[in-house]
């Protein structure tokens, strides 16, 4: 377990992205005695507008930079005397990983290793690595991923995340380094990039455009509201034993078609707004998380059911669209 009183400065990578920005917007304000330094390259998925609520906070600093640039990273570590790292930064767009697999290996594997090597060199107290349930591959109609499910990734994206997970594990096993890993189900909520299913579909429907649904829409995911995910990360970061791996799920297993129909109903559209498109390559049929371990060990359970989470998400994107018009 981490002694939080000893943590004065945390490096948060990818903090201008979807999950990282939601994390910072909550925990920077909740822990004013901890300095949160946000390192983000500001690619297509990272936006400083996501951080308006904390950008002027005394305990928050933004640094633009690349986790693949080892010389830059070392100077950052020397300058800031970090106590811990929470590592969100990753290339995560599955379709992009199919067209450019090398980028995902570079960012997700090499970038993670750079952070691990420097964290070990400078004796950081904890390194938390944010991963995905996609490292497990796909499920059939029944069953759930547990923390002991073998890794069997099917896309270049998930393979690169599995590689980064194994690199973290190797630092724990070989060097005794204090690191933890979380693997989450599909996230949704405010600040998500518009290329992702839920924000893309909300935005299209509000604007009167059609939504592109892969194949027959039967692919199934467990949907996790982003605030629940970040609360689980904080529990793992502060309470878990060194080397722990935890699955984080939302207990909201739904097909893409069910998601689509929910959005159509809530936004007053019908199925004529759906355009069926060719399935993506390597598209896993079903993911579902068994989050029993984190519930038993750390007492975490999701606060949001899907109805509450999707209502907040729709409100966020509608307000964002209205602000732009």
Report DSSP letters for 30-90, one per residue. Answer: H-TTSEEEEEE---TT--GGGGTTTTT-TTEEEEE--TT-HHHHHHHHHHH--SEEEE---
CA distance 111 to 107: 5
pLDDT of residue 131: 98
Domain 6-190+223-250+284-305 shares a fold with domain 197-218+254-283+316-324? no
- Just list the catalytic residues: 133-134, 157
Q: How many residues does the chain have?
A: 325
Cβ contact 167:109 at 8 Å: yes
Q: What is the CATH number of domain 6-190+223-250+284-305?
A: 3.40.50.720
Residue 196 sits at φ, ψ, to 5 deg, of: -85, 160
Looking at the chain, list the stretches that DSSP marks H as alpha helix, in order from N- to C-terminal side.
18-30, 70-80, 94-99, 101-104, 111-121, 156-175, 197-207, 226-239, 256-266, 292-298, 306-324
pLDDT of residue 279: 65
Which residues lie across from 132 on neighbouring strands?
184
- The rounded radius of gyration (Å) of the Cα atoms in the chain is 19
Residues with pLDDT less than 70, the chain: 279-283
Residue ranges covered by each domain of the chain: 6-190+223-250+284-305, 197-218+254-283+316-324
DSSP assignment letter at 142: S
What CATH fold (topology level) applies to the domain 197-218+254-283+316-324? UDP-galactose 4-epimerase; domain 1 (3.90.25)
């Amino acid at each position: 377990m981490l002694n939080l009183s000893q943590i004065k400065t945390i490096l948060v990578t990818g903090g201008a992205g979807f999950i990282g920005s939601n994390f910072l917007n909550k925990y920077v304000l909740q822990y004013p005695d901890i300095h949160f330094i946000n390192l983000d390259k500001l690619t297509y998925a990272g936006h400083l507008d996501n951080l308006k609520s904390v950008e002027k906070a005394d305990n928050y600093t933004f640094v633009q930079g690349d986790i693949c640039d080892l010389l830059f990273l070392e100077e950052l570590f020397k300058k800031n005397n970090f106590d811990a790292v929470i590592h969100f930064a990753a290339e995560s767009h599955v379709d992009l990983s199919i067209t450019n697999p090398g980028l995902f290996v570079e960012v997700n594997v090499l970038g993670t290793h750079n952070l691990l090597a420097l964290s070990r060199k400078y004796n950081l107290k904890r390194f938390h690595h944010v991963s995905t349930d996609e490292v497990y591959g796909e499920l059939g109609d029944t069953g759930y991923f547990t923390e002991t499910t073998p890794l069997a990734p099917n896309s270049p994206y998930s393979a690169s995340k599995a590689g980064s997970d194994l690199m973290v594990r190797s630092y724990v096993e070989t060097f005794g380094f204090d690191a933890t890993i979380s693997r989450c189900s599909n996230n949704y909520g405010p600040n998500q990039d518009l290329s992702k299913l839920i924000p893309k579909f909300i935005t299209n429907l509000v604007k009167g455009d059609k939504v592109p649904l892969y194949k027959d829409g039967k692919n199934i995911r467990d949907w996790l509201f982003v605030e629940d995910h970040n609360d689980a990360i904080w529990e793992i970061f502060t309470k878990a034993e060194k080397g722990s791996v935890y699955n984080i799920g939302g207990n909201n297993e739904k097909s893409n078609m069910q998601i689509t129909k929910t959005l159509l109903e809530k936004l007053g559209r019908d199925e004529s707004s759906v355009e069926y498109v060719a399935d993506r390559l390597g598209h896993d049929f079903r993911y579902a998380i068994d989050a029993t371990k984190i519930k038993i060990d750390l007492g975490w359970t999701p606060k949001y059911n899907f109805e509450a989470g999707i209502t907040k998400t729709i409100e966020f994107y509608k307000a964002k669209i209205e602000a732009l018009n």
